[in-house]
Structure 1
């Protein structure tokens, strides 16, 4: 399908720096960047199918990367091409969950009290759920080890971007950025993280994510750091010194036009029907 050329597949988990990473992909690949839209009816648990990506190729015939909340490594997407390269970013789970609630309240108009929301399917263990299709850290760890080529950490974002750029060679990833979807007021998150009762609830509902994050932080990420050829600290300093993206990348113009004028109007026709079951790859027990 892709004639042996690598295609990046970004697994976007809420409140882990994903909007910023998505912008990096757009500015790097222009009209080769396809951000999948699955529709509101599949918003609760979006999982894109290989058939949908194949249809998107009718529009994105120079496809170099995939993103969007429907891109998951537990689906059948790896049947598209042996050159599909999954990557993702994780975040300390308790902080991520508190940040997600704050975002939903401030930006989404959520009125539900925290003690009710935190018990819903939208709150805890969202990182294991996105990676494995269920809140199971062991399954998520197996998928990260076998199918996901790169895992960055929001807490070490600049360093992770430098490592990502090296991993994605020779695709020419331009990692300069301006942070996206960052709240200017973190009072809700701070209150949740400093209140013993809410902090206990956050930990309770994120046990699988905490296990996953601990594994990545102690096993996967250190191996990535140690495998970097050269002085990583200097590379990060050089990047931070030159991290001044232009106001507009010329290639972004083509990307926006293609997305807004062609892809969005046709997206409903490119999706699987609502009743279609998306094949999912389950980790071995």
Structure 2
């Protein structure tokens, strides 16, 4: 059976930027996006004929049984991204609190849920929020006597590839090789303006409730270092060239966006 690429998109790990890159690579009708209950249901019932049509599956997908996943059509070219757990939790909280279209927007604002509440709460609405999401996303639901962290580490190593958000350019070059991507120049998407630093108390609570994600991230970062070092000097040269090109691209894109905004203002105000 044909095996499409499979992007296990953990929220707030630069997935939106990646999805824009993928949209330029794959025809729209060959991408299966899985971000809603209906889309998850479709993926569970997908036929072999439909799998053959798909080149990429992407989305917030919970894998129930990773052993079955890796032995099936979707597990062969599966990949994900991990992010510093503290930064990921803070970003998720700020995003959900300020994006009106998400289902927690009203609840977080009407109940005046603080960052500490968001992370530590055992209320049904928040019980799985801000607590070891990366480890839970990679451990599956099938218990085998090992800890969640052990299973997450094992499954991370079984993925075809994983990236690190804080080392996005290196990760993107690995994806380029894996997926035969031609143009990977990018603008950052879904990036919020920097907010004030979190307090020591908030930091302590986030670390307490995300201890397994912190250990997983340390493990992943060390493994990522090894894999990059194994690629040698040629990869370092390729990375330096790409960084230079993409910095130029982002400057030009920023200027064009500013010009378009100015032109729109002139049109609106009749200038």
Identify the TM-score tier after normalising by the shorter chain.
0.7 to 0.9
Aligned equivalents of 2:47, 2:74: Cα separation in 1: 14
What secondary structure does 2:27 align onto? helix
Aligned equivalents of 1:96, 1:11: Cα separation in 2: 16
Please point out which of 116, 120, 126 is paired with 2:133. Answer: 126
In structure 1, the residue matched to 2:57 is: 66
Aligned equivalents of 1:223, 1:140: Cα separation in 2: 19
Gap change, CA 1:37 and 1:196, over 3 Å in 2: closer
Aligned equivalents of 1:73, 1:24: Cα separation in 2: 28
The alignment's TM-score, normalised by the length of structure 1, stands at: 0.70
In structure 2, the residue matched to 1:239 is: 242
In structure 1, the residue matched to 2:118 is: 117
| Contact 1:163-1:225 within 8 A present in 2 as well | no
Gap change, CA 1:72 and 1:240, over 3 Å in 2: farther
In structure 2, the residue matched to 1:7 is: 4
Aligned equivalents of 1:37, 1:82: Cα separation in 2: 17
Question: Cα deviation per residue 1:45-103 (whole Å; 9 max; x = unaligned)?
Answer: xx678643437x54x75311110112648454445428731111101111111111111
73-82 or 221-230, larger mean C-alpha shift: 73-82
In structure 1, the residue matched to 2:209 is: 205
In structure 1, the residue matched to 2:261 is: none
The alignment's TM-score, normalised by the length of structure 2, stands at: 0.74
Q: 1:240: Cα distance to partner?
A: 2.4
* Alignment pair present for 1:88 and 2:76: no
Question: Cα deviation per residue 1:91-145 (whole Å; 9 max; x = unaligned)?
Answer: 1111111111111112243322222211231111010111113682111001112
Question: Cα deviation per residue 1:12-55 (whole Å; 9 max; x = unaligned)?
Answer: 01111111112222211123222124427x9xxxx678643437
Aligned equivalents of 1:23, 1:54: Cα separation in 2: 27
Please point out which of 97, 113, 117 is paired with 2:89. Answer: 97
What secondary structure does 1:231 align onto? helix
Q: Name the larger-Rg structure.
A: 2
In structure 1, the residue matched to 2:221 is: 217
In structure 1, the residue matched to 2:173 is: 162
Q: Calculate the aligned-residue CA RMSD, in Å.
A: 2.9
Q: 1:223: Cα distance to partner?
A: 2.4
What secondary structure does 2:19 align onto? helix
Please point out which of 52, 56, 63 is paired with 2:45. Answer: 52
Whose relative contact order is higher, 1 or 2, with alpha carbons under 8 Å and at least 6 apart? 1
Please point out which of 19, 22, 41 is paired with 1:22. Answer: 19
Normalized per residue, which structure has more helix?
2
